[in-house]
Amino acid sequence: MQTEDLPWKEGKKAPHISRRRYIQWQGEEPSEPTYTIVLTAPSNKFVDIRILKPDDQDAFNRLSNKKQKTNLWLDWAFGGQMTSSGVEHSSKKPTQCEWLHWVDNRVGYNEKAPVDAGITYQQEEKGLSLEHGSMVNPATGEMTNYQEMWEDIPMACVEEYNKWCVTASLDNPDLEAKGMIIRLAQYIQAVLRVGETFAASIWMWEPDSHHHASLETADAKLWSDVCGRATASGRWKEVFCAGPYAIDCEAFMQPQTLEVGGELEADFGYFRIDGVWQWPRSLS
∠ Cα 196 112 72 (to 5°): 40
C-alpha to C-alpha distance for 142 and 131, rounded to whole angstroms: 19
Would you state the pLDDT for residue 5? 52
Would you state the pLDDT for residue 162? 83
Report CA 80 to chain centroid distance, whole Å. Answer: 11
pLDDT in tens, the chain (284 residues): 344 455 555 555 689 999 999 999 999 999 999 999 999 999 999 999 999 887 756 655 555 554 545 567 899 999 999 998 865 544 457 889 999 999 999 999 999 988 899 999 999 898 999 999 988 888 888 889 999 999 999 888 887 778 899 999 999 999 999 999 999 999 999 999 999 999 999 999 887 766 666 777 777 677 777 666 655 678 898 988 999 888 999 999 999 999 999 999 999 999 999 999 998 876 66
CA distances from 263 to 169, 268, 272 (A): 9, 13, 4
Q: What CATH superfamily classification does 1-284 receive?
A: Protein HRI1, N-terminal domain (2.40.128.320)
DSSP state of 164: E
Would you state the pLDDT for residue 2? 41
